[in-house]
Amino acid sequence: MTFDDQEYLSRYPFIEKVLISSEDITRRVRQLGNDISNDYKDSTPIFVCILKGAYPFLADLTRCVSIEHEVDFMAVSSYGGGTQSSGVVKIEKDLKANITDRDIILVEDIIDTGLTIDNLIALLKVRNPRSIRVAAFVDKKIARKVDVPLHYTGFEIPNEFVIGYGLDYDEKYRNLPFIGVMKA
């Protein structure tokens, strides 16, 4: 844990613990950047940041990637409301890029039930990209309801509600440099 992580813990007493420290995040994101750079040596992929939560991961990951690439942004919401993801996604903000025949890397903050990313992949496949892969910062595998292929995963975490590094509680705490668990 860095001094900054410690600072935030004392400022926000509702955080129970740091699950993934900022140092571990830096190390892991660098590895993922290397993996992606090796895998896409002969391509110019488009990193698609799924807003809002994936913005810190996109920013850090792309700075660890040594190949040419583009970035684009997309925002989706789940139909149905409530606390459970229905998975049926509505596009709130669409891509600018034409993705036909392009290699796409969907950059996600967290995969929980998997319903959102599963539906999003189905929506994008209709546009005939050459390939679609998913880079997810954290994977709550135990909560999965549909099987989704995750090509690049930062960390697997237990079934707990987490905040930080893009993940919010009521739109707040996305700025935390670590992944933390809130007190129940």
Give which of 99, 143, 141 is closest to 120, Cα–Cα. 99
* Binding segment (CB under 6 A) for ligand IMP, from list 14-22, 30-38, 98-106, 110-118: 110-118
Among 45, 87, 129, 164, binds ligand IMP (CB under 6 A): 87
Site for ligand IMP in 49-78 (CB under 6 A): 53
Identify whether 139 is a catalytic site residue.
no
| Bridge partners of residue 68, in order along the sequence | none
Sign for the CA dihedral angle at 27, 33, 107, 145 comes to negative
| 113 scored as a contact of ligand IMP (CB under 6 A) | yes
Which residues, other chains included, contact 126 with Cβ-Cβ below 8 Å and sequence gap of 6+? none
Q: Binding marks (x or -) toward ligand IMP, 34..53, rule CB under 6 A?
A: -------------------x
Among 56, 112, 124, 136, binds ligand IMP (CB under 6 A): 112
The answer to whether 51 and 74 are in contact (CB under 8 A) is: yes
Among 40, 47, 85, 139, binds ligand IMP (CB under 6 A): 85
- How near is the Cβ of 17 to ligand IMP at its closest, in Å? 14
Nearer to ligand IMP, 110 or 124 (CB): 110
* Binding segment (CB under 6 A) for ligand IMP, from list 13-21, 58-66, 90-98, 111-119: 111-119
Which residues, other chains included, contact 154 with Cβ-Cβ below 8 Å and sequence gap of 6+? 20, 25, 28, 29, 32, 57, 136, 137, 138, 139
Among 33, 116, 136, 154, binds ligand IMP (CB under 6 A): 116
| 139 scored as a contact of ligand IMP (CB under 6 A) | no
Cis-peptide, bond into residue 52, ω within 30° of zero = yes
Among 49, 111, 120, 176, binds ligand IMP (CB under 6 A): 111
Map 111-151 to HEC letters. ECCCHHHHHHHHHHHCCCCCEEEEEEEEECHHHCCCCCCCC
The answer to whether 169 and 184 are in contact (CB under 8 A) is: no
Question: Annotated catalytic sites, by residue?
Answer: 112
Residues of the shown chain interacting with ligand IMP in the complex, contacts defined by CB under 6 A: 53, 85, 87, 109-116, 161-162, 167
